[in-house]
Chain A
């Protein structure tokens, strides 16, 4: 019954999406506003329809309906109810429904905005978002149906199908396999929705861009309308990436937060393209330049969003993230190809209309530096793309699989990231238009001199790594320049308005949220760079097998093994938990409990570290193995991760900065209400 309602809702949503796209396109071509309005309503209806399907899945999951293949795969009796609910995005079919649900929500929100000035764009925004939605729904309607049941054929085989196959009878296993243990961590429960939100929100600026191309508008209206959408997408993607890193650090047990895994990169690539886009649209808004380039960037971002979902969902790569494997790969591949080529074709058709006043007066002008910034972002993107697809290409053409590991990525992207840091330090001091080297030098010498204090101090205190010294100098330069920008702006305000400094600072940021939000983001990047350089270059590790009372030394830390306890939990885990005492410089700093959880049903171990965390460093202990009862020995792998917490601190500042930049500008209240009332079409 529930599965019937759920599947019917999915099919209806699919039909609605197709109808919406078709009616909007036809209505726009034939000049029939009623049809466009009907399409808009179809778009608005798609969200409640998919909500019904999603709720049906949740009801089945919570109800323990193990005759449904999806339920049997991702839940088990032992799982707590909240995990059963979040198992909605724990497997293939559910994830795709969830993705569609978010997209429908965003599309509906767009459908409800005021369209007065942009009526001409509306039908094509509907077409693009509904075609994307229809594609994702087609995957669940035709291929990965989350409502399919398990059937026993007369020959004794087990198959999965929604409709009853001839002569088959339904089977209901008494218990399910349960969610992949790696996904049971709170970080992993929230990580996929954030990434999906980021992915899905990027569909909206793309839809507006394509609409502008179709109707032949060459102004930057589409950029202004979708600025906040882009920032929201970017915010969620960044949040997803940071939380994903935190999850890896807490759960995967390899002492790091970023492993250059293809699926991590799949989420990072749209973020990189989106970051390049966020910078280059400023040049278009300010100078009317780069119109083609911005179109290309948003097309690229959208394609990378699809590509990222494809990599995660199709099982084309098997990695720690690729939990779901399915036959939907070819469909994805075709859709990415068609939408990419179609978008490029549209862009080429409008190429001449988009010719702007592309003129660069100086190589150190703000626009020239933004171009360089985009160049570096795209280079990093290209390198990551190569790294992800090379093993696939190698397997395809030579039959030989290869691993492209962290070392390759770090060696190639390291200098590019350093270049970005340098730009981040220089660009805020440059001006649009005819900025001269001499003027820039005059602005730059003092921040450079101040920032050099940092590497000089580090050198004196014994740091000898050239890469680290360079990295810390660049990070210090960005920090000095950014703080100087805040100081300069606030001082000007203080002089002009007689405000106190903190008030001037807050009002300054409030008046130009994008600029100062951006600077806060830069400060977040500086903090993250401090942490990343710290752990990447100065991480140390050791491993040893200890008897009870034995000790292991790593730098200033000493760890003493106190004992091991083993117990079972009601949710099907066999836990081995070690107790270790930790001393720093001979002084006790507490106990840690590194452990291994062995998930019996899935036959899968999970290594949970014991971590002593301070701002300056983490002492990170992993229980690698232990001897059978009686011998009392255990093996530990221990990491010293200097400055790693700056990564999380910087991430938080980064997110705060994005919030500042994306926060809606304040409008006088009555005016806003009036505008909103006008926006609602009669009868709604």
Chain B
């Protein structure tokens, strides 16, 4: 039973968190007008398809102003940040989000940097290790017999035929 108590506490916490979010959402819904800062906090993470690379909270165009008004209206109705973002994604596609959603091909954009870092570090370590060994002189490497028994057999075979 003790094993499950941790889980139960965790579950309870999640439930509490969800309820709290819902309550705060409702509280906001009762407020008549969300502030500019609340609108901007969400707009900051959105990009309109026309003004590329200009976040919505600072874009001076009329179209972007209308988007911000939409967000204000949605906030007033008690929408959460996720709901608002989802609304714009459904209307205009994934490009409105500040970072690519973690789906499909977009995985690459999150996976490649760490993979490249690890691969690069491994290559670098390999290179440095090979450079740390004292240089083996060319004559030595030729005169040294091969350690591999298979290679030795091949050598012997070649000598016999030659």
Residues of A within 8 A of B (CB): 253-255, 259, 261-262, 317-320, 357-361, 363, 368, 371-372, 375, 378-379, 382-383, 386-387, 390-391, 393-394, 397-398, 400-408, 412, 541-545, 596, 605-607, 622, 624-625, 635, 637
Chain A residue contacts of B96, Cβ below 8 A: 403
Q: Is the interface of B mostly helix, strand, loop or mixed?
A: helix
Chain A residue contacts of B37, Cβ below 8 A: 541-543
Q: Please provide the 7 A-B residue pairs with the shortest distance between their CB atoms, ordered closest to farther.
A: A543-B36, A405-B98, A254-B58, A402-B100, A401-B95, A360-B131, A319-B53
**Known: A368-B128, A605-B61, A625-B65. Contact between A394 and B100, CB under 8 A?**
yes
Residue in B47, B49, B120 whose Cβ sees the most chain A Cβ within 10 Å: B120
Chain A residue contacts of B58, Cβ below 8 A: 253-255, 622, 637
Instruction: Indicate if the CB atoms of A404 and B99 lie closer than 8 Å.
Output: yes
Residues 111-143 of chain B: 1 if any A CB is under 8 Å from the residue's CB, otherwise 0? 011001100110010001001101100000000
Residues of B within 8 A of A (CB): 35-37, 40, 45, 47, 49, 52-55, 57-58, 60-61, 65, 93-101, 104-106, 108-109, 112-113, 116-117, 120-121, 124, 128, 131-132, 134-135
Instruction: Indicate if the CB atoms of B53 and A261 lie closer than 8 Å.
Output: yes
CB within 8 A of B109: which of A317, A320, A397, A408? A408
14 A-B pairs with C-beta separation under 8 A: A253-B60, A254-B58, A262-B53, A372-B124, A390-B108, A391-B95, A402-B94, A402-B97, A403-B95, A403-B96, A403-B98, A405-B55, A408-B109, A607-B60
Instruction: Indicate if the CB atoms of B116 and A382 lie closer than 8 Å.
Output: yes
CA distance A359 to B131 in the complex (A): 5
CB nearest neighbor in B for A386:
B112
CA distance A372 to B125 in the complex (A): 10
CB distance from A467 to the nearest CB of B (A): 18
Q: Is the interface of A mostly helix, strand, loop or mixed?
A: mixed
Chain A residue contacts of B35, Cβ below 8 A: 543-544
CA distance A301 to B61 in the complex (A): 37
CB within 8 A of A401: which of B94, B99, B113? B94
Chain B residue contacts of A405, Cβ below 8 A: 45, 47, 55, 98-99
CA distance A259 to B109 in the complex (A): 19
Chain B residue contacts of A318, Cβ below 8 A: 52
**Known: A368-B128, A375-B124, A390-B109. Contact between A400 and B98, CB under 8 A?**
no
Instruction: Indicate if the CB atoms of B135 and A412 lie closer than 8 Å.
Output: no
CB within 8 A of A394: which of B106, B120, B128? B106
**Known: A360-B128, A407-B99. Contact between A379 and B53, CB under 8 A?**
no
**Known: A359-B135, A361-B132, A405-B98. Contact between A259 and B61, CB under 8 A?**
no
Instruction: Indicate if the CB atoms of B113 and A390 lie closer than 8 Å.
Output: no
CA distance A544 to B96 in the complex (A): 25
CB distance from B63 to the nearest CB of A (A): 12
CB distance from A30 to the nearest CB of B (A): 37
Residue in B49, B58, B65, B100 whose Cβ sees the most chain A Cβ within 10 Å: B58
Chain B residue contacts of A386, Cβ below 8 A: 109, 112-113
Instruction: Indicate if the CB atoms of A398 and B105 lie closer than 8 Å.
Output: yes
Instruction: Indicate if the CB atoms of B120 and A378 lie closer than 8 Å.
Output: yes
CA distance A320 to B54 in the complex (A): 8
CB within 8 A of A403: which of B36, B97, B117, B132? B97
CA distance A513 to B117 in the complex (A): 34
**Known: A386-B112, A542-B37. Contact between A624 and B60, CB under 8 A?**
yes
Chain B residue contacts of A253, Cβ below 8 A: 58, 60
